[in-house]
Amino acid sequence: MLDHPPPRRPVEIVRQVERPPAPTAGLVLDSLGRMRPAVAITIVLTTAGMAAGTVVAIVALVGVVLATVAAVAGMVALGAVDLGLAAVVLGGRHTPTR
């Protein structure tokens, strides 16, 4: 008939030791060191380009906000000039009385 394998003894875990987490920079350098040079250079340059692009985008966003504020200030100034012009045209001459 069929022979059954002998039963195994249960495995008992006495204690579980956790490895300390490796620093991310060390893992990245280790991973880049194992790659082909062309791939590693491509990854490094791509990451640097994305970081530089992010900085440029933030500076552009700040420039757009400042330009919007300047446009609003210019519209307020034009409105004040228009009001002054309308007051002069519609008000006529002011004649002082003694």
- pTM for the full model? 0.54
Virtual CA dihedral for 74, 78, 80, 81, nearest 10 degrees?
Answer: 140
Sign of CA dihedral 37, 38, 44, 47: negative
Token pair of 56, please? Answer: 């440029």
Question: Who wins on pLDDT, 35 or 17?
Answer: 35
CB 38 within 8 A of CB 50: no
Question: Who wins on pLDDT, 92 or 52?
Answer: 52
pLDDT above 80 (res 21): no
pLDDT digits (tens, 9 = 90+) for 36-85: 999 999 999 999 999 999 999 999 999 999 999 999 999 999 999 999 88
Token pair of 54, please? Answer: 């992010």
What distance in Å separates the CA atoms of residue 15 and residue 13, rounded to the nearest whole number? Answer: 6
How distant is the alpha carbon of residue 73 from its chain centre? 29
